[in-house]
């Protein structure tokens, strides 16, 4: 029997233990959270992506009366980065959220669709994108990587025929 032992990259930390770049990324995500348009859920989400040349592009969730047309903050940040020419150089993403029924100590992790899109960015950027997830107060922070949040992912290689 073959056992695969993978070392977990997931780390629980706090804002004060983040390095300068991680803290700045989370600050920008928090700022973007204020741009959230969420009249239906009342749940504001902000995200910020960091590119290889250390540019930061942020986004917020934008809801729609046709609920399914809503875009999450992480995907808003990624498409905005794409529009700025950063489709292949995303290395980190931070996410933070606030809602009236959301406990102030609970971190927000990207939803399944966002994980899928982060995975594609990771593949084309050639790196395992780091994901920084925070509670609304920036007290509890979790750091992980897309390979850990979306194991056995379906990605660009899944569409290639075997050579
Ligand atoms: N939302 C995000 O922005 N990111 C996620 O990863 C999860 C959910 C938004 C979508 C919707 O506007 C609100 O949170 C409630 O689901």
pLDDT at position 46: 99
How remote is the CA of residue 99 from the centroid of ligand 1, in Å?
A: 10
pLDDT at position 30: 98
- Mean pLDDT, consecutive 10-residue stretches, the chain (163 aa), reads 64 96 98 98 98 98 98 98 96 98 95 98 97 97 98 96 76
pLDDT at position 162: 77
- Ligand 1 pocket residue status of 33, Cβ below 6 Å: no
- Ligand 1 pocket residue status of 72, Cβ below 6 Å: yes
Backbone φ and ψ for 43, nearest 5 degrees, come out as -110, 105
pLDDT at position 85: 96
pLDDT at position 1: 47
Sign of CA dihedral 88, 111, 20, 36: positive
pLDDT at position 75: 98
CA atoms of 51 and 161, how far apart (whole Å):
31
CA atoms of 74 and 60, how far apart (whole Å):
7
Task: Tell me the domains of the chain and their CATH numbers.
Answer: 18-150 (3.40.140.10)
Among 33, 37, 38, 73, say which to mutate for ligand 1: greatest number of ligand atoms within 8 Å of CB.
73
**Residue 139 falls in the annotated catalytic set:** no
- Out of 74, 120, 137, 139, which one is annotated catalytic? 74
Where does the chain have alpha helices with state H? 20-33, 73-83, 112-125, 146-149
């Amino acid at each position: 029997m073959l056992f695969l032992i993978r070392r977990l990259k997931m780390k629980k930390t706090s804002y004060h233990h983040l390095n300068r770049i991680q803290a700045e990324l989370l600050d920008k995500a928090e700022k973007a959270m204020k741009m959230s348009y969420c009249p239906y859920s009342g749940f504001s989400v902000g995200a910020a992506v960091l590119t290889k040349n250390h540019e930061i592009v942020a986004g917020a969730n934008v809801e729609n009366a046709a609920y399914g047309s809503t875009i999450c903050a992480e995907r808003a940040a990624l498409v905005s980065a794409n529009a700025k020419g950063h489709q292949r150089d995303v290395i980190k993403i931070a996410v933070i959220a606030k809602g009236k029924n959301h406990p102030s100590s609970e971190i927000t992790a990207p939803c399944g669709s966002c994980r899928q899109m982060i995975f594609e960015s990771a593949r084309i950027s050639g790196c395992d994108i780091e994901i920084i997830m925070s509670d609304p107060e920036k007290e509890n922070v979790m750091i992980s990587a897309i390979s850990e949040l979306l194991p056995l992912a379906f990605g660009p290689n899944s569409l290639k025929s075997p050579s």
